[in-house]
Amino acid sequence: MPDNLYLFSAIAVSTAVTFGLRALPFAFIAKLRSNGFINYLALRMPLGIMVVLVAATLPAGIMDSAVAWPVAAALAATVGLHLLKSNAVLSVLGGTAVHVGILSWPL
């Protein structure tokens, strides 16, 4: 069994590495804000993330009708909310709420 000094040292090193990795991007924030590629990604990535999520989620069981219609309803709610409000967070939360609500409803 490891002694206490070893455990506390491991925790301290893990904490320092985690803090350093999270703080590192802030050291370069001024250069990143003026970078055209980063600005392009900031504008395009919400849509890109949604496309990746749809591509990863839909094939999982779409052929089963018990899975297909809740997924279709959630997808329609997500797209509809995004077209109405243009807010990615609201769209994802709304679509998730529709999907969970349908799956939780006793049939």
For 60-91, what is each residue's pLDDT tens digit?
A: 666 777 778 888 898 899 999 999 998 888 99
Return d(Cα 28, Cα 25) in angstroms, integer. 5
In percent, how much of the chain has pLDDT > 70? 93
3-state secondary structure 23-64: HHHHHCHHHHHCCHHHHHHHHHHHHHHHHHHHHHHHHHCCCC
When pLDDT is averaged across residues 46-57 and rounded to a whole number, the result is: 78
Residue 56 pLDDT more than 90? no
Nearest to 93 by CA among 105, 81, 103, 106: 81
Output the average pLDDT for the chain.
85
Residue type, 80: G
Residue 53 pLDDT more than 90? no
Residue 71 pLDDT: 82
Distant-in-sequence, close-in-space partners of 1: CB < 8 Å, separation ≥ 6: none
pTM exceeds 0.75, yes or no: no
Return d(Cα 21, Cα 30) in angstroms, integer. 17
Residue 107 pLDDT: 63
Residue 1 pLDDT: 62
Q: Which two structure tokens, joined as six digits, stand for 72?
A: 């279709």
